[in-house]
Amino acid sequence: AQSVTQLDSQVPVFEEAPVELRCNYSSSVSVYLFWYVQYPNQGLQLLLKYLSGSTLVKGINGFEAEFNKSQTSFHLRKPSVHISDTAEYFCAVSPPYNQGGKLIFGQGTELSVKP
């Protein structure tokens, strides 16, 4: 079975500062990894995903994440955040052998960007 742990429930940060949102997963098999963002009163939006290949994945809005197999981590980073990045961020995993509909989400990290 797979599981996802987002190590921080809330991350406050000042505008233009760098940020890292941490995600660790547990799985006995290879997995696909995802980061989603949920703005207030909006649906989840895909930021980026790792399926295979380069361990550094670039996504939308200047976000990137690095897959670290030995540490079973997939941390999300942005070098300089904006007020508009304030949102809830979810890390998710999917085992490659399932039919593709089941994502296992972490509990979320609330990013709060202050001026």
Partner 1 sequence: GAGVSQSPRYKVAKRGQDVALRCDPISGHVSLFWYQQALGQGPEFLTYFQNEAQLDKSGLPSDRFFAERPEGSVSTLKIQRTQQEDSAVYLCASSLEGGFMNTEAFFGQGTRLTVV
Q: Compare residues 80 and 98 and give the one whose CB is closer to partner 1.
A: 98
Q: How far is the CB of 6 from partner 1 (least distance, A)?
A: 8
DSSP state of 62: G
Of 69-108, binders to partner 1 (CB under 8 A) are 90, 92, 94, 96, 98-108
- Amino acid letter, residue 57: V
Of 5-34, binders to partner 1 (CB under 8 A) are 32, 34
Q: Which is nearest to 4 in space by CA: 89, 85, 82, 84?
A: 89
43 CB burial (10 A radius; 0-12, 13-18, 19+): exposed
Contact set with partner 1 (CB under 8 A): 4, 32, 34, 41-46, 49, 51, 90, 92, 94, 96, 98-108
